């Protein structure tokens, strides 16, 4: 190791601290204290990499010390190994329930102490590396999203301008359809990154009108494959929902239906009330699926297409679970897929 890890040993028996120092100081920087209050002050002043913590101590016992450390976000990640003469199962269970990562019984066996410390430090270092990589990944995705959004807007604006000058052309329709696909992927990534910080504001939404607007959004995508989207309604109703989250459900379901539909086919969308259940059903005449239950798994993609990231329907499932929206998927190979949503739990006055 280029840099020594720092171990804080806390035990009210001076002889135990001296012994731990003897067996560990060649490999680690050892700090020691016989007082639990001093230990807490020491930890807040300079974080150790690992704590060896006795259970039975005067004033504040080891369990309380551990609880105090774990309540502090700045200290909670420090691995704590309990050290005790108590060898009964109840104390061991309590040690783990209070946030300990391991338990060493006195008298100490040097090789065991070293091995357990080494293992926990390796786990701790791995977690720290993973956290660092996740933060870097998050920054990378945010930067990529920023870089994508600007050219997407430019392409969309210029397509509209070009279409006004030369009229409707198949090539322009294809570009606009591709832009809508990229826009939907962008929105999925945006949802994943911002879902924790985004305000969860719910409003009353007329589902039929909302779906009509989303069908219009995907008009070019459907036209490229000569797909007709038919909207039928038996009853209009309002749901209490976050508009952005509802958009993710509708957009991902419609775009997937278009993606896997055969050319010159029809997608039937039904909104209505059946047996006092508030239903949205989207049915395509596409390739179908062998395992419809897997469609909501993260990164799922049909073998017939490599378009997209396979994130969309896993996002749909996450949002539906949050709102207690029931989902039913039926599919027949070469004939199509039907996804049926029951929004009953999101309707206000029944």
Whether 257 has a pLDDT exceeding 90, the answer reads yes
Average predicted confidence (pLDDT) for the chain: 87
First to last CA, the chain: 67
CA distance 59 to 39: 12
Contact 330, 267 (CB under 8 A): no
Tens of pLDDT, residue by residue over 29-88, are 999 999 999 999 999 889 999 999 999 988 889 999 999 999 998 899 999 999 988 888
CA 119 to chain centre: 28
The percentage of the chain sitting over the pLDDT mark of 70, rounded to a whole number, equals: 94
Record the pTM.
0.59
232-267 burial string, b = 16+ CB within 10 Å, else e?
A: eeeeebbbebbebbbbbbbbbbbbbbbbbbbeebeb
Lowest mean pLDDT among 28-37, 146-155, 245-254: 146-155
The single-letter DSSP state of residue 227 is P
Q: What pLDDT score does 350 carry? A: 45
Long-range contacts of 235-238 (CB under 8 A, 24+ apart): 235/271, 235/272, 235/273, 236/206, 236/207, 236/208, 236/209, 236/271, 237/206, 237/207, 237/208, 237/271, 237/273, 237/278, 237/343, 237/347, 238/204, 238/205, 238/206, 238/207, 238/347, 238/348
Q: How confident is the model at residue 215 (pLDDT cuts 50, 70, 90)?
A: very high
Which tokens is 327 given? Answer: 């989902």
Q: Which residue has the higher pLDDT, 282 or 149?
A: 282
Tens of pLDDT, residue by residue over 222-236, are 999 999 999 999 889
User: Domains in the chain and their CATH numbers?
Assistant: 6-132 (3.40.50.2300), 202-346 (3.30.565.10)
Integer angstrom CA distances of residue 268 from 53, 130, 224, 285: 65, 45, 18, 9
- Using DSSP's 3-state secondary structure scheme, residue 218 falls into coil
């Amino acid at each position: 190791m280029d840099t020594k890890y720092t171990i804080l040993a806390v035990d009210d028996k001076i002889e135990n601290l001296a012994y731990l120092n003897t067996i560990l100081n060649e490999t680690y920087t050892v700090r020691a204290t016989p007082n639990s209050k001093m230990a807490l002050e020491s930890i807040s002043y300079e974080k150790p990499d690992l704590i060896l913590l006795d259970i039975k101590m005067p004033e504040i016992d080891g369990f309380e010390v551990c609880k105090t450390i774990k309540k502090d976000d700045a200290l909670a990640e420090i691995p704590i190994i309990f050290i005790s003469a108590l060898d009964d199962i109840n104390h061991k269970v309590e040690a783990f329930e209070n946030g300990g990562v391991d338990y060493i019984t006195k008298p100490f066996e040097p090789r065991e102490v070293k091995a357990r410390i080494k293992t926990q430090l390796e786990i701790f270092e791995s977690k720290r590396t993973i956290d660092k990589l996740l933060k870097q990944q998050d920054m990378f995705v945010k930067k990529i999203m920023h870089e994508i959004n600007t050219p997407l807007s430019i392409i969309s604006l210029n397509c509209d301008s070009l279409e006004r000058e030369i009229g409707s052309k198949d090539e322009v329709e294809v570009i606009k359809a591709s832009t809508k696909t990229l826009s939907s992927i962008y929105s999925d990534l945006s949802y994943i990154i911002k879902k924790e910080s985004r305000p969860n504001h719910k409003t009353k939404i007329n589902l039929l009108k909302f779906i009509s607007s989303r069908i219009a959004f995907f008009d070019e995508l459907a036209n490229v494959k000569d797909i007709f989207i038919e909207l039928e309604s038996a009853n209009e109703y309002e749901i209490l929902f976050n508009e952005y989250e509802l958009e993710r459900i509708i957009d991902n379901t419609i775009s997937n239906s278009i993606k896997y539909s055969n050319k010159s086919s029809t997608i039937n969308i039904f909104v209505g009330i059946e047996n006092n259940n508030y239903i949205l059903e989207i049915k395509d005449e596409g390739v179908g699926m062998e395992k419809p239950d897997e469609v909501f798994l993260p990164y799922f993609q049909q073998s017939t297409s490599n378009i997209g990231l396979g994130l969309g329907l896993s996002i749909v499932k996450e949002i539906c679970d949050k709102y207690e929206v029931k989902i039913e998927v039926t599919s027949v190979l070469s004939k199509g897929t039907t996804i049926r949503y029951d929004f009953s739990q999101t309707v206000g006055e029944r």
